[in-house]
């Protein structure tokens, strides 16, 4: 079979197909999956500095690209999920585990918070903020790193609004795998 381009003496060029493939890859990266390279030790031993994790950006809903606005939100973060979110200063992306999801009960005594069989020391400003609640307000989560000795997390900067959450980690490397490099997410600060 002879195509019209061949009949006119034109040659087929793969450039349009390549451009479409690149555009689709970028679209998938900003809306569905995104790799992040972990910097810091706050999630050790589960996730080590230098490892790359894959984040499912559509876990909690579909956002308008390049914004914090959800077009549709179908799920809320659950306790124990590892998430990537924008830090309160908006300059960094952080990786932490959700300790308390919205509507979970909390007990604040001075500058400590009690969870089931665990007591966490809080920054006094965070303790003062949470003192008004007996539950984490709907639309927020309390996050912490697994290596709490080095982690800067909700104990220091307070609750994380759902609008700051970029997605849930769906892939973490094997414990003995060699670190790789891709876009940055901080595990510590």
Output the tens digit of pLDDT for each of the chain's 189 residues.
Answer: 555 555 566 677 788 889 999 988 887 776 788 888 999 999 998 898 999 999 998 899 888 777 778 888 888 999 889 999 999 888 899 999 998 887 777 888 888 887 766 788 888 888 888 877 788 888 899 999 988 889 999 988 989 999 899 999 998 876 545 444 444 555 544
Q: Please state the φ and ψ torsions of residue 24, each to the nearest 5 degrees.
A: -65, -40
pTM (2 d.p.) = 0.76
What's the confidence (pLDDT) of residue 70? Answer: 82
Q: Please state the φ and ψ torsions of residue 70, each to the nearest 5 degrees.
A: -85, 130
Residue 167's nearest CA partner among 24, 28, 31 is 31
Would you list the DSSP string of 12-49? P-SHHHHHHHHHHHHHHHHHTEEEEEEESSTTTTTS-T
Is residue 21 within 8 Å of residue 27, measured between CB atoms? no
Instruction: State the Cα–Cα distance between residues 134 and 88, nearest whole angstrom.
Output: 23
Would you list the DSSP string of 63-114? EPTTSS-EEEE-----TT-EEEEE-TTSS-EEEEEEEE-TT-B-EEETTEEE
CATH 2.10.109.10, domain 13-186, yes or no: yes
Residues with Cβ within 8 Å of residue 34, at least 6 apart in sequence: 54, 55, 57, 166, 167, 183
Instruction: State the Cα–Cα distance between residues 49 and 55, nearest whole angstrom.
Output: 16
What's the confidence (pLDDT) of residue 185? Answer: 56
What are the extents of the domains in the chain? 13-186
Q: Which two tokens stand for residue 174?
A: 């094997």
What's the confidence (pLDDT) of residue 182? Answer: 47
Whether the bond into 45 is cis, omega within 30 of 0: yes
What's the confidence (pLDDT) of residue 68? Answer: 74
């Amino acid at each position: 079979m002879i195509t019209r381009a061949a009949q006119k003496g034109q040659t087929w060029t793969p450039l349009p197909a390549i451009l479409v493939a690149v555009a689709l890859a970028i679209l998938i990266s900003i809306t569905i999956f995104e790799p992040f390279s972990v910097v810091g030790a706050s999630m050790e031993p589960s996730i080590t500095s230098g490892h790359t994790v894959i984040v499912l950006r559509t876990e909690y809903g579909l956002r308008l690209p390049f914004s914090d606005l959800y077009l549709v939100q179908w799920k809320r973060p659950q306790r124990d999920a590892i998430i990537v979110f924008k830090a309160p200063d908006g300059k960094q992306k952080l990786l932490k585990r959700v300790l308390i999801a919205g509507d979970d009960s909390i007990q604040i005594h001075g500058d400590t918070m009690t969870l089931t069989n665990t007591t966490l020391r809080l920054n006094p400003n965070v303790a003062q903020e949470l003192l008004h609640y007996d539950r984490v307000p709907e639309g927020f989560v309390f996050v912490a790193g697994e290596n709490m000795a080095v982690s800067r997390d909700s104990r220091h900067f307070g609750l994380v609004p759902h609008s700051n959450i970029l997605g849930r980690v769906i892939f973490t490397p094997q414990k003995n795998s060699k670190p790789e490099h891709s876009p940055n997410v901080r595990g510590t600060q």
